[in-house]
Each structure stands twice: as C-alpha cells, then as structure tokens.
Amino acid sequence: MEPVIPLASASFLKCGQCSLGKICLPVGLDRDDMNSLEEIVDTGRVFQEGETVYSAGQPFEYIFAVKSGMFKTVLNDSQGSEHIASFHLPGELFGLDAIYSSVHGSSAVALGTASLCAIRYKDLENLATKVPGLQQHLFSLMSKEVHNSFTKLHEHSVDQKLAAFLVALSARYKQRGYSETRFHLMMARRDIANHLNMAPETISRLFKRFQKDALIEVKRTDLNILDLEALKELSGCCGSCD
C-alpha cells in the first residue's frame, strides 16, 4: 500500500503556485488525501501592513508559503538595529533559516495586506522521507538560497547591488508567471536601502540615474524594466543569473 501523500492536493499547493507546487503535481494524488493535507497545511491567514508572522526568539514550528502580498524577514543585531534579510513574493517559502535552531533568529512582517499558508515543519519533514521528490525539492530550494547568498556577498558597488536586486526580483516574478519587466516594488525605498545596506538617499540617486540611462522607469512603487540585459550586465551576473 502506497503511503498517503497529502501535500499533493492542497488547493493552493497543488496548482503550482508555490515553491512546493512543482513537486506536488507529479506524485499522484486522490480525493482522500485532501483531508490529511488539511491537517498539515493551514490555509489562509491574512495579515495587515506591519503585522508580524513570528518574532525572533519564538519557537520554530512552521514554515510559510506566501499566497498573496509580500513579507519581509528581519534580523536584529545586538545594537538593536534592524536588517531586512529578504523579501518574500507570492508562491515563495520562508522560515527555512530557522530549521537548524529551535527558535526563530529573525522576525517576519507583512508589507501591506498579505496572506500565507502555514506548514508544520515536522510534518513536512516526515512527508519528505516518504516522498523522495519532496525531499529533493527542499534540498534544492535551500541549496539555491545558499548559492544566492554567496553571490550577493560578492557584490561591490551600489550600482551592482541595486541592479542585482532588480534582476533577481524580475527573475522571481517571471518564475511565478508574472511579468518580468513590469511589477510593483511593494516595499519602501527605505526598506530596499536597508536590505542592500545602503542609504535611502543612494537608492533615490541610483533610480534617477538608471532612469536617465534608460534602464528602468520607476514611479513611486511601480517599476518598468526597459533594458533587462543591460541591468544583468551591470549586476555582474555570476554565470547563472537565471
């Protein structure tokens, strides 16, 4: 008898919208699986601007898949200053950085109205032993995250950092089926600056220059990439800038 593979059938997860979607589809599923899945995946919690999903220091129990809107994960250092580790787009998973520890090292906060699925990590882990494809997929996801972090650590000038940030966002939107050249930035300038370790003023000046050079068009939070290739070039794309 085949093991039950509940994750495959969640209404959200099965349709390929999230990072688990790819793996969920091929495994084969039926109606009966639905119920067991509902126990693992808690669909549909909605957050308002600034609401926290979890805070640093809280016990780690769930990982999260973004359904709509955007979330950010924030690190606090010993001096009390905050740093935005990453932004999370619809379909992406977050919270994986806490697996190694029993508590969260970062906090997750909604940028504007946003919703997510919560997945009990222990259940996901168990499931991954039964569904090899899921295990592979999770390894792959984390591996990619490690690789991305490595390339970010190499970035040098502010031009390069901002270009790489925009290129990466573009690629992520594209992967989820959105336009790769037109999207909303969602986050404030200050947040972008914080994330990239720059002054907000610098972001402003760079956006202006990028516009002058006909690389992009930005109006408030709307971004239109005019020359993606040039941006990639600027970012010094480390071989695989997907």
Partner DNA sequence: CGAACAATTGAACCGATTCAAGATGCGTGG
Partner DNA sequence: CCACGCATCTTGAATCGGTTCAATTGTTCG
**By the rule CB under 8 A, 140 interacts with its own copies:** yes
**By the rule CB under 8 A, 157 interacts with its own copies:** no
Size of the site for its own copies (CB under 8 A): 50
Task: Quickly list DSSP for 131-149.
Answer: -HHHHHHHHHHHHHHHHHH
**Of the candidates 185, 187, 195, 205, which has an alpha carbon nearest to the alpha carbon of residue 161?**
195
Smallest gap from Cβ 72 to DNA, in A, equals 14
Of the pair 112, 236, the CB lying nearest its own copies is at 236
85 binds, among its own copies, DNA, none (CB under 5 to 8 A by kind): its own copies
**Residue among 53, 65, 138, 166 that touches its own copies (CB under 8 A):** 138
The answer to whether the CB of 174 falls within 8 A of the CB of 180 is yes
Smallest gap from Cβ 126 to its own copies, in A, equals 8
CA torsion sign for 36, 40, 42, 43 is: negative
Helices (H), the chain: 21-24, 31-40, 121-130, 132-154, 158-175, 189-196, 200-212, 228-235
142 binds, among its own copies, DNA, none (CB under 5 to 8 A by kind): its own copies
**Residue among 85, 171, 186, 226 that touches its own copies (CB under 8 A):** 85
DSSP 3: P
31 to 5, 23, 143: CA distances (angstroms): 11, 18, 33
Smallest gap from Cβ 157 to DNA, in A, equals 4
1 binds, among its own copies, DNA, none (CB under 5 to 8 A by kind): none
Q: Which residues bind its own copies (CB under 8 A)?
A: 56-57, 73, 75-79, 83, 85-86, 96-101, 105-106, 125-126, 128-129, 132, 135-136, 138-147, 149-154, 156, 197, 233, 236-240
